[in-house]
Each structure stands twice: as structure tokens, then as C-alpha cells.
Amino acid sequence: MSRSLYHHPKPFFRASRGTWHLQIEGKQINLGRDRKDAFDRYHKLMQQQPSKRTLAPTSDIASIADQFLDWCVKHRAADTYEWYRERLQRFVSRYPDLKIDELKNHHVQDWIDSYDGLSSGSKRNLCRAIQRALRWAVQQEIIDRSPIAHFQKPRAGRRKTVIDEQEYARILANLPNDDFRDLIRFAWHTGARAAECLAIEVRHLDLANKRVVFPVDEEKMERIPRVIYLSQEAHAIVCSRLKRKTEFIFTNTCGKPWTTDAVNCAFEALQIRMGKKAMTETAVEVSVEEIDETVASLRPTRHVRGKTIVKTESELRAEAKRKLTKRLAKRYARKHSLTEFRHSWCHHALRRGLDALTVSVLMGHSDPSMVSRVYSHLNHAPEYLLDQAQRAVEGS
């Protein structure tokens, strides 16, 4: 039976009252209306909370992971804690009773190899999580050495997906409402990180200087304030969103801030919509034989207000056709993500003549070499590179 890592309570927003709350041991604590103040108070409360369990001896991986996460909740941002918790849980679930002196490099290799559909970058992040936890344990003098300190992680993935102007126009044309369209347009015009786009609140705006400013404690690396400079188009989008008078700039049709899951669902719906259009243009349809085969696998009843109702033959065939059409549509269109718009912004900025240092600063990189090391988009633009090579010898 796999062990579960300790899960700390997290603040939640009650829209009916417009306040943030935290539940500890069955008791709800009102953290106030301001999100920043609420999370500041949350972190202080977590530091004051006694341990909910007696820590096991540090001879096994799960105990060290638990202690590392306890440290993260007190000294790192909530998103950072959750990032490590999700990945460490995977490792502990695979090796619930593994001891430190038993851990070998092949355990990590077998673990990441078990994820067939995972990208090299995602597998690298799995390795980073377990190595970081053990490195922390060494720093805290809990263990003498990390047995996987020299494990060779998979290479970080290269950013190859670029959305061109034509694809961008097609995407906008297939978006059903302005709320998601504004979010995508903002990402296209600023190159901001996906998490940054979702986190922008009214208090972050500095419209006089046409910028968004995240304070140090809300910045990804918690080193310097993160500043997103707004182009004319991005500035207009933000000003338009302000008319909705919501705390978060980008909200859905219900006025609630976008979450990563909601954005993912919206992109999946976009993929299906674009795929269906492509199917119509190429006269592709689901066959009668496929519908007949799928009908046999469907549940013959449905529940309505506590009552079980038998589906009619036409309902079953309509359900089968709907499911098959969605599945087929995904083959005719690619699923996009907010991160792709950031990568595309980098590509187009470099092609338009911005130097790598300026691009890095605008993207919020702490290391300016990130553009040259991670973003290889210009390798796929030979006509641009040829033009630049000619300019280099002509001096103009």
C-alpha cells in the first residue's frame, strides 16, 4: 500500500462573502478580503501550527520527503510546495518503503521510464524534485550524502512549437467568447508566463507606466519584482477588462478567475472546435460501422433526479456519434497552451530584431542565457538567419 505525503490546508475564496478562508481541524478562519494579506496570514498560521504527526525516522525516503515538504510550506510559496508535493508523491507511491541506504540510480531511472507519454522536460522535473529533497536533507544534516546526487537527468526539452500569424488568427476566429479570447491575446502580445497571466490582479497594475508589477514575494524566483511591460494592444486589453470590476483581470464568463484546469479544458474545447471545422472542410465523418460498434459499449441507462431511465436507440446512437466525433476531431487539430504563446512571442521578437538580452529581460528570465539555451526557434527560420548573415558582412 502506497504512503501518502502530508497535505497542508490551503486558503480558499468564498465568492458569496468575497473573503478568503482557511480550514484547520474543522474550524474555518476568515483571512480577509485582500488576497495578498490573506496568504501572508496563512503562511504565518502554518508556521505556528504544531506538527500533525510524529515524524518517522529519517532512514526512509517518505519521511525525508515529508520533512522537506514541511520546510517548503514555511519557507517557499504555496505553488512551489504543491509542485514538489505532486512529484514526490509519485516517487513515494512507487517506492513506499525504500530506505536511503537502498536507493540507487536505477530506482530513479526505472521510475521515470515508467511514464511512456511524458516529455523529456517533464521527466527531468521528476528527477529534480527527488534530488532537491535529498540535497535539502544533506544541507540540514539529516543524512550524510545523497545517493543519487550524480544521477544524470534527462535533457531539458527544447521549445520548438511556434504559432504563426495565420494560426493565431484561426485560433481567435474559433473562440466563442471574449473572456478566453482576451486571455490568449494578452499572452500573445506580452510573452508573459501562463501562471502570471492568470494571477494578475487590479493591485498589480501600474497603468501610468503601462506595466504589470508582481512584488518580490509573488515573483517566480522571489529575487526581484517581475515587471510585464504592456504593448499598446496589451494595455488596451487590460483597460477593457477593468470595466468588469473584478479582483482578477482575467476571469471567465462567471466572473471567476481562470484556473489551470479551466484553461486546459478551454484549450481542449478549442481543439475539438477547430478539428470539427477541419473535418467539415475535408468531408470527413464518423462511419455507421463505428457508431454501431460504440453503441454496444455504452451504458444503456442514465440517471435523472434520482431516477434510472433507459436510453432510446436514437439517444444511444447520438451519444456514440458525439463521442466518436470529438475523438476524431482531436486528430485534425493540435491542442494549444498558454505557454506556446510565450514561446511564440520570443520567436517573433527575435526575428523582428530584438537582441537576446532585451528579450530575456522582457520575459522575466533571471538568467539572460535562457533564450539561447532553451529557445531554439530561430534555427527553424533559415531565411531570417541568411538575411542577418548578409547584414553582418555589409555592416548595415
Tell me the per-residue pLDDT of 240-266, one tens digit each, with 9 for 90 and over. Answer: 999 999 999 999 999 999 988 899 899
Residues linked to residue 24 through DSSP beta bridges, in sequence order: 27
Of 184 and 144, the structure prediction assigns the larger pLDDT to 184
Confidence band, pLDDT 50/70/90 cuts, at residue 373: low
Q: Regarding beta strands 205-206 and 307-310, do their DSSP bridges make them parallel or antiparallel, or are they unpaired?
A: unpaired
| Residue 101 covered by a domain | yes
Give the model confidence (pLDDT) of 41-55 as tens digits.
Answer: 887 777 666 544 433
| Residue 262 covered by a domain | no
| φ, ψ (nearest 5 deg) of residue 219 | -80, 150
Confidence band, pLDDT 50/70/90 cuts, at residue 35: confident
Q: What is the pLDDT of residue 40?
A: 79
Give the model confidence (pLDDT) of 136-154 as tens digits.
Answer: 999 998 888 899 999 998 8
Q: What is the pLDDT of residue 122?
A: 83
Residue 108 pLDDT exceeds 50: yes
Separation between Cα atoms, residue 147 and residue 105, nearest integer Å? 8
What domain range is 116 assigned to? 37-139
Please tell me the total count of domains within the chain: 2
Instruction: Measure Cα distances from 146 to 85, 124, 143, 194 in Å.
Output: 19, 17, 7, 34
Q: Regarding beta strands 211-214 and 301-304, do their DSSP bridges make them parallel or antiparallel, or are they unpaired?
A: unpaired
Count each helix (H run) and each strand (E run) in the chain, helices first.
16, 8
Give the model confidence (pLDDT) of 326-340 as tens digits.
Answer: 999 999 999 999 999
Of 4 and 76, the structure prediction assigns the larger pLDDT to 76
| Residue 271 covered by a domain | no
Lowest mean pLDDT across 19-28, 65-74, 223-232, 249-258 = 19-28
| φ, ψ (nearest 5 deg) of residue 353 | 105, 0
Q: What is the pLDDT of residue 133?
A: 95
| Residue 44 covered by a domain | yes
Q: Residue 197 belongs to what H/E stretch? A: helix 194-199
Of 375 and 274, the structure prediction assigns the larger pLDDT to 274
DSSP class of residue 223 equals S
Separation between Cα atoms, residue 118 and residue 320, nearest integer Å? 30
| Residue 306 covered by a domain | no
Separation between Cα atoms, residue 246 and residue 13, nearest integer Å? 14
Confidence band, pLDDT 50/70/90 cuts, at residue 320: very high
Residue 351 pLDDT exceeds 90: no
| Residue 86 covered by a domain | yes
In the chain, the percentage of residues whose pLDDT exceeds 90 is: 53
In the chain, the percentage of residues whose pLDDT exceeds 70 is: 85
- The grid coordinates listed for 67 are 520533512
Q: What are the strands, taking DSSP E only, across the chain?
A: 12-14, 19-24, 27-32, 205-206, 211-214, 226-229, 301-304, 307-310
Residue 1 pLDDT exceeds 50: no
Residue of 220, 204, 221 lying closest to 212 (CA atoms): 204
Confidence band, pLDDT 50/70/90 cuts, at residue 284: very high
Confidence band, pLDDT 50/70/90 cuts, at residue 26: low
* Sequential DSSP letters for 230-291: --HHHHHHHHHHHTT--SBSSB-TTSPBP-HHHHHHHHHHHHHHHHHHHHHHTT----HHHH
Q: What is the pLDDT of residue 53?
A: 40
- Domain end (from 124, 139, 154): 139
Rg (CA), the chain: 25
| Residue 9 covered by a domain | no
Identify which of 113-117, 369-373, 383-387 has the greatest average pLDDT: 113-117
Please compute the mean of the pLDDT values over residues 84-95 and round it to a whole number.
Answer: 93
- Domain end (from 139, 174, 191): 139
Of 357 and 316, the structure prediction assigns the larger pLDDT to 316
Separation between Cα atoms, residue 273 and residue 278, nearest integer Å? 9
Q: How deeply is 322 buried, as exposed, middle or buried, from its count of CB atoms within 10 A (0-12, 13-18, 19+)?
A: exposed
Average pLDDT of every residue of the chain: 85
| Residue 360 covered by a domain | yes
Q: What is the pLDDT of residue 51?
A: 47
Please compute the mean of the pLDDT values over residues 293-312 and round it to a whole number.
Answer: 91
Taking the alpha carbons of 281, 282, 283, 284 in that order, is the dihedral positive or negative? negative
- Domain end (from 139, 160, 192): 139
Please compute the mean of the pLDDT values over residues 265-291 and round it to a whole number.
Answer: 94
The domain that holds 56 is classified in CATH as 1.10.150
Residue 322 pLDDT exceeds 50: yes
Amino acid identity, position 83: W
Q: What is the pLDDT of residue 205?
A: 96
Please compute the mean of the pLDDT values over residues 360-367 and round it to a whole number.
Answer: 85
